[in-house]
Structure 1
């Protein structure tokens, strides 16, 4: 199993209490530490407004951060989970990603999806198309990006995007273009797009859900004549880990106390995500056993969100020392 970690960027109120003037230094320290350690990749979210409550708290922009991370590191791979296709013209996005790939020396991953956060869609003037339209945008955009990275130009007269001989040079550093991670578990459309274009998928939930989505993905690849094994399946996990169950509960209480002033009546729902079957919350043994079970079901890449990372790295360090060596 391979491992990635999210860098706190404010979207989940994970930089509150830190002076905004210190946010970049906080993120830089964390990404450089990951670069020197056991992680294969670092990730940010592509969002503009905090969740689950839009607020005036900072949310730093994903692609700007990825570019800064590229210039601040030398080894670790760099991704977004996931870029929303509706937020940027796809050929412009392909150009941005190719440039960042050069800055990084060929370390960029492209997480891409249809998007879901209605509040920021509307606030930024993108409207909020129905799900089928957002997925058509995703398909058209992925087609454009693949053309751009493989041939250096793109042409498509689509329903949502129209480009005519758009030049994207230089090509990405990586042979075959930037790896595409198609995010989402929609069984009729999203997983079909993934089966055609993706080197990685990203869908999450409980173990039974992961197995079902994997079976659907295999059905799509079989129909397309593609080798199912070519696609690495990944999932994101909210991760809180400690040596004892009592220490785990202490960590959860500390997270709740930090979020409480900002979330109001959304606090209970936000904390409930750490009790869901798909969360990795527990002792080293409990977390390792659960991850191993996902691995047995075909999970090849686990990406971890540590809500404490900007304030307390002891949980991250424990995971690095005890879980990654056992399962990596």
Structure 2
């Protein structure tokens, strides 16, 4: 799907949000990603995550380790992928993966390598992996959630000796633009039921409401350090909402902050 999308576009940067690390050996994924970076002429973002959907693993006979092990595997995989993209040959003896004189050719188009986006919000383990390996970090939550997690990310960065301010921070969540109070309430109620959480808990984490309400919410996220936004349209994919977002919100945000955040 991603290959087809890249073939039909010329400027769009694309990736998956995110590829579960348990599904492929990182050396195989590194080669697949390098090939896609060539097909797209340097427009790939490689999204990686520890994987979470246990039922899918059971359905296809894929081992599903503990949360801690999956996250440690993710860190080792990100390290290996970067090395395969940037070194002529890689020999590696890790806790989970082993390589002997492995290579990845041709190297990706992007230099030094395509950006690696790591998804997840776990404050003890996942954010440490983000601090060590990510070019971009994606999670969900309210502006206050991001304020707290970004502060923790900075602490991890100091611990591993990295300036984490260079990591792009992205929010992902449901987007729905509407001027109707009843429609807004219905969307929020549906989300609350889907997530199994109260409406008042869900509402601060999504972009649902009028143009001005969403603009203000974007400003709140930007104020705490979010640099990019990834809006999700839920079925039946309300295209007028997407059109209004493109025409009435993106230009204002771009004008205020001098660059695209979306």
TM (norm. structure 1) is 0.72
| Alignment-derived partner of residue 109 in structure 1 | 45
Distance 1:144 1:298 in 2: 29
Q: Tell me, what secondary structure is at the counterpart of 1:78?
A: coil
Kindly provide the CA deviation profile for residues 129-160 of structure 1, in whole angstroms up to 9, marking residues without a partner as x.
10111012101111110101111433222232
CA shift, 1:209, in A, is 1.4
Distance 2:40 2:236 in 1: 24
Work out whether residues 113 and 138 of structure 1, in 8 Å CA contact, stay in contact via their aligned partners in 2. Answer: yes
CA, structure 1 residues 110+274, in 2 after alignment: closer, same or farther (shift >3 Å)? farther
Q: Tell me, what secondary structure is at the counterpart of 2:100?
A: strand
Gaps of 5+ in 2: 255-262
Aligned residue runs from structure 1 range 242-257, under 5 A: 242-249=178-185, 252=187
| Alignment-derived partner of residue 205 in structure 2 | 278
Distance 2:241 2:108 in 1: 36
| Alignment-derived partner of residue 154 in structure 1 | 90
**Which of residues 147, 151, 154 in structure 2 aligns to 1:211?**
147
Aligned residue runs from structure 1 range 51-90, under 5 A: 65-90=1-26
TM (norm. structure 2) is 0.89
- The Cα RMSD (Å) is 2.2
CA shift, 1:249, in A, is 4.6
CA, structure 1 residues 78+152, in 2 after alignment: closer, same or farther (shift >3 Å)? farther
Bigger relative contact order, structure 1 or 2 (CA pairs below 8 A, ≥6 apart): 1
| Alignment-derived partner of residue 258 in structure 2 | none
Aligned residue runs from structure 1 range 1-328, under 5 A: 65-249=1-185, 252=187, 268-270=193-195, 276=202, 277-308=204-235, 310=237, 312-328=238-254
Gaps of 5+ in 1: 1-64, 257-265
Distance 1:289 1:210 in 2: 16
